[in-house]
Amino acid sequence: MTERIYNFSAGPAALPLPVLEQAQQDLISLGDTGIGVLEHSHRSKAFLAVYEEAEALVRELASIPENYKVLFLQGGASSQFFMIPMNLLKKDQTADYLVTGSWSKKAVKEAKSFGNVNVACSSEDKNFSYIPEEVSLSENPAYVHFTSNNTIYGTEFATEPTVPAGVPLICDASSDIFSRPLDISKYGIVYAGAQKNLGPSGVTLVIIRDDLIEQGPTDIPTMLQYRTHSEAGSMYNTPPTFGIYVLGQVLRWLKEQGGLAAIQEKNQSKAGKLYGYLEQSKLFNATAAKQDRSLMNVTFVTGDADLDAQFIAKATAAGLDGLKGHRSVGGMRASIYNAFPEAGVDKLLEMMNQFEQEHA
């Protein structure tokens, strides 16, 4: 078998090896059913057990209160950009958006089709390299939306923004969900495409408070109403069965790691090593403001595009893949989600050190 290399991809991203090995077996026969996980009816007893375990693990790991539903939807996080305002924003209402990167901007664009948008803050003036401290909310927003981790720019909210009592806080947590403990009771909705911390692409986790499910109009397409999926337990139509299966396996693994508080410590240790090195490096610089640095996506540059390209080529040749930064930041981006091993971070540091000695 081909040896696995270190995959720094921003998403789809590295998955835990034990999960892949289990999936390999379950592709042929899920448990002793004689039918592979891809081939089971979503209504079969075997798949229902998979579904129930995945949901139970989401609930257990994030201590989700009773008055929230866990939905497994399709269409990616990007479909939540329109589904949220379609259900929760009326024409004469205003929704507040904290704009901290391209994904927040895309969410704003969709919301504008349904009602008014107040950009409560933006860090676009400095190419989204920081999280604004000042947030100016509108008088009576239908909800406040923010992106907890900015995958492209390597910034992350240290804590959730404060909103007035009664205003639902909505979070796109696609790139840092379950990387640290979170208090769901502070949120109206938390959603995430699975392909970074939870599993494969094709399934979107939506954790939504009951009262918001019922708020939406009933004259929009059935598939786009939260109540449809809530009432049917995400089985109104065929759900993304394989995605739900892998997500469940990833959460099993996460529980074995000690859960969210334990994985946060590991994430702090991994990112801490990289930022510690970047702070003293004479060649490489972190691009995100110190207090807002992401534990998931570490972005850095040499300041010279040719040198960046040389470094990436060297790293790739040494089995460190996916380090090229997004074109809007340039340089390098090391995406080190929950499943990314610390040994890969150490290998990257070794490469950076060596490259610095050669070029400083």
Q: In the complex, which residues of this chain contact ligand PMP (CB under 6 A)?
A: 11, 76-78, 103, 147, 151, 172, 174-175, 193
Q: Is 238 assigned to a binding site?
A: yes
Where do the DSSP E strands lie in 148-240?
149-150, 155-156, 169-172, 189-193, 204-209
Q: Measured from the CB atom, is 106 or 255 closer to ligand PMP?
A: 106
Q: Is 140 assigned to a binding site?
A: no
Q: Provide the annotated active-site residues.
A: 103, 172, 196
Bridge-based pairing state of the strands 6-7 and 320-321: parallel
The residue whose two tokens read 């201590």 is 63
| b/e code 333-345 from CB counts within 10 Å (16+ = b) | bbbbbbbbbeebb
Q: Measured from the CB atom, is 174 or 302 closer to ligand PMP?
A: 174
Distance of CA 73 to the CA centre of its chain: 15
Distance CA 59, CA 232 (A): 18
Q: How far is the CB of 326 from ligand PMP (least distance, A)?
A: 10
Q: Measured from the CB atom, is 58 or 77 closer to ligand PMP?
A: 77
Q: Measured from the CB atom, is 40 or 145 closer to ligand PMP?
A: 145
Q: Quick one: residue 29, left, alpha or beta (phi over 0 = left, psi -120 to 50 = alpha)?
A: beta
Question: What is the chain's alpha carbon radius of gyration, rounded to the nearest angstrom?
Answer: 21
Bridge-based pairing state of the strands 297-301 and 332-335: antiparallel
Distance CA 320, CA 327 (A): 19
Q: Measured from the CB atom, is 85 or 193 closer to ligand PMP?
A: 193
Nearest to 132 by CA among 141, 120, 149: 120
Q: Which residues contact 210 (CB under 8 A, 6 or more apart)?
A: 67, 68, 69
Q: Is 43 assigned to a binding site?
A: yes
Q: Is 151 assigned to a binding site?
A: yes
> What are the phi and psi torsion angles at 325 (to 5°)?
-70, 160
Binding positions for pyridoxal 5'-phosphate: 77-78, 103, 151, 172, 195, 237-238
